[in-house]
Amino acid sequence: MTTTSNLWTNSDLRLQASRELPGLTKELESDKSERMERIEHGTDLFDEMKQRFLSFKKHKYMQNLELYEKLAKDQAPKFMVIACADSRVCPSSILGFQPGEAFVVRNVANMVPPYENGPSETNAGLEFAVNSLKVENILVIGHSRCGGIRALMSMHDDVETSSLIGSWVSVGMNARVRTKAATKLLNFDQQCKHCEKESVNCSLVNLLTYPWVEEKVRNGELAIHGGYYDFVDCAFEKWTLDYKESNPIGKSGKVAVKDRAFWF
């Protein structure tokens, strides 16, 4: 009796599965159609990109041909900008940099690792900008709602992370520690906002660990600036590192600033 019942049960399951198969097939076909549509939409995006390029060529390149012919031979930017890779934070769009005006390096959370950390794409760009291009200003720009800073603030002080993002943002661990100490009564979002600015100052201090940067700053040939872009309220804050005040304690992670300005 039990065997017969099981056979009927198995048969019913097979019958139910066969009835559901057309629906499953339709669902898979729908998923495939959606994937194809996304691929085709990607093609549309490149078509739009093509039109933007052609518009740039017609309205900017051709109308400023003398400038672009000069830039084709050489570049002499006054600024190096270190900004976040976040798609909402484009220095050229925000601050109006034109071609040839700024040498830009972007990474997760706009971090500058200290000299002793060894080679990275960020300090390779730094070396080229300072020693070859001889920029006169370095501007490190932080921003609101930074995912890299949230990742940093979510880490534990005594735990090594195995993720690539975690390993990178740990460069700003000093900023995290100082933020935690200064914002104990604030909620997590407020702590993150504090750290977004603190990490910029941490990067300014780290810049001074590079001998050729520190030498040029000391000789007045190079100025180091911090910036913070709040894209929620569309506001920008700028400050300049005060080398004379910061240098004696700079290696301990503290920084004095001057010429602080708010642009609304």
- The helix (run of H) or strand (run of E) holding residue 138 is strand 137-143
Q: Under a CB-based contact definition with an 8 Å cutoff, are residues 100 and 67 in contact?
A: yes
Tokens 């004379």 belong to which residue?
Answer: 244
What is the tally of helices (H) and strands (E) in the chain?
A: 10, 6
- 77 vs 128, 133, 207, CA distance in Å? 12, 7, 19
Per-residue confidence (pLDDT) for residue 163, from 0 to 100: 83
- What distance in Å separates the CA atoms of residue 200 and residue 143, rounded to the nearest whole number? 9
State whether residue 102 is helix, strand or coil: strand
pLDDT digits (tens, 9 = 90+) for 243-254: 988 854 444 556
Q: What is the pLDDT of residue 7?
A: 41
Residues of the chain falling short of pLDDT 70: 1-42, 157-161, 247-254
Give pLDDT, residue 183: 96
* pLDDT confidence of residue 16: 53
Per-residue pLDDT at 1: 46
Is the whole-model pTM more than 0.75? yes
Q: Which residues pair with 235 in a beta bridge?
A: 230
